[in-house]
Amino acid sequence: MLDESRHFFGKENVKSILDWMAFYKLNHFHWHLTDEPGWRLEIKQYPQLTSIGGIGNYSDPYAPAQYYTYADIREIVEYAAARYITIIPEIDMPGHATAANRAYPEFSGGGTDEYPNFTFNPGNKETYSYLSNILKAAKKLFPSGMIHLGGDEVSFGSRGWQEDPAVRELMKRQHLHDLKAVEIFFIQKMARSALKLYNKVLFWDEAADASLPVNHTIIFWWRHDKPEQLKKALLKGYHVVLCPFIPLYFDYVQDSIHTEGRRWEGKFNSLERVYNFPDDESFTTGMANKRVLGIQANLWTETVRTQERLQYLLFPRIAALSEAAWTNPGKKNYNEFLMRLKKHLQWYKAAKIYYYNPFAPQKTPEITDTLVTTS
């Protein structure tokens, strides 16, 4: 999964990633195109989504608008299909809607001081028509038959709903007793709209709390610290993709000497930790093997401002991801993997990729912002 809302990388970088995905037999590209900093997908019916919502990024809120046109999307989708890769777009809702709400504030559900205009408005009937029209446009661009609707971290900005008369009326009319119930109502309603267009709807693991059509919903378990959400999704019968932030968030640092990027209680996502996934802690029920569709690495880009840093975080962990996905756990041997990896590093160098070298980390130092540092 590549996040291009926070920082935008463009067609050539995406194509390069698709080339390496094909090389490593990774067959789905989850494209996170909308979020707080920027809206990156042209929707001709709503041009301000890109002319206004496309302005800015995580580093610079005034950066010129950057986004993918219809022609760009078709070109990239065709490029991926030629490599047997399915592209799954993500249009995040009802939270992470800040960029969209800059463009069309009439659909904003507000937020908080820290997360202003973070949500869409679930009490405004027109919100659902607006978002359904966006999904219709996306359907024409992405033939995968799947759409990811996000559904995560809504509580960061849903407090604004409490003061909205339309939301209060919705709560009264639908007998929704708290904001979590409003969130679930929204997710269910938009899932129904999406399923009229798509074969599958995909959500982050918060949506396991909602009652969604089991045979048409895929849950992405990302919260490593909430194994109960994985268990809940599996027990309800949903298919699941495993993408926990330990060890599959590739914006996390990968070496103890690195300074930029995230950690979790001191943990970071080393090459070895990625290779050895899934371990016993990843499965909370014996049903897992029957319902788990696969694994996914997520590359969020708050700290990824350059092509070189994007490459540095991805290579060679993409090789470890492929081995984790395709290798029978009983046949894994990390030392043997490292021996084979030496040849891959030569290929990266020949392709002018700036990669992390697990054998000699100082030879390719960590990139922070636009600088290379050895600290």
pLDDT in tens, 18-65: 999 999 999 999 999 999 999 999 999 999 999 999 999 999 999 999
Instruction: Compute the distance between CA of residue 346 and CA of residue 124 in angstroms, rounded to an integer.
Output: 56
Confidence of residue 328 (pLDDT cuts 50, 70, 90): confident
Q: Residues near 21 by Cβ (< 8 Å), separated by ≥ 6?
A: 27, 29, 83, 85, 318
CB 241 within 8 A of CB 308: no
Quick one: what percent of the chain has pLDDT higher than 70?
96
Count of all residues that appear for the chain in the document: 375
| Position 367 confidence tier, pLDDT thresholds 50, 70, 90 | confident
78-117: pLDDT as tens digits: 999 999 999 999 999 999 999 999 999 999 999 999 999 9
260 pLDDT tier (thresholds 50, 70, 90): confident
User: Which tokens in the block code for residue 247?
Assistant: 């060890």
Q: What are phi and psi of 283, to 5 degrees?
A: -120, 120
Res 197 pLDDT > 50: yes
Instruction: Classify 2-307 by CATH class.
Output: alpha beta
SS3 state of residue 233: helix
DSSP letter for each residue of 62-124: TSPP--B-HHHHHHHHHHHHTTT-EEEEEEEESSS-HHHHHH-GGGEEE--SSSTT-EE-TT-
Mean pLDDT to the nearest integer, 156-177: 96
Q: What is the pLDDT of residue 295?
A: 95
CB 12 within 8 A of CB 70: no
**Would you say the C-alpha torsion 32, 37, 42, 43 has a positive or negative sign?**
positive
Residues 6+ apart with CB under 8 A from 275: 320, 323, 324, 332, 334, 337
pLDDT mean over 232-240: 94
**pLDDT band per the 50, 70, 90 thresholds, residue 373:** very low
- DSSP-derived pairing of the beta strands 239-242 and 217-221: parallel
Report pLDDT digits (tens) over 276-312: 998 766 565 544 578 899 999 999 999 999 999 999 9
Domain ranges of the chain: 2-307
Q: How far apart are CA 192 and CA 211, in angstroms?
A: 11
Conformation bin of residue 16: beta by default, left when phi > 0, alpha when psi is -120 to 50: alpha
What integer pLDDT is reported at residue 330 of this predicted model? 86
Residues 6 or more apart in contact with residue 129 via CB below 8 angstroms: none
The pLDDT, as a whole number, for residue 372 is 36
In terms of pLDDT, which residue wins out, 371 or 352? 352
Residue 153 has pLDDT above 60, yes or no: yes
pLDDT reported for residue 282: 57
Residue 369 has pLDDT above 70, yes or no: no
Which pLDDT score is estimated for 279? 77
Helix (H, G, I), strand (E, B) or coil at 330: helix
Gap between the Cα atoms of 250 and 353, Å rounded = 16
* Percentage of the chain lying above the pLDDT 90 cut: 89
What pLDDT score does 172 carry?
A: 97
State the pLDDT confidence band at 370, using cuts at 50, 70 and 90.
very low
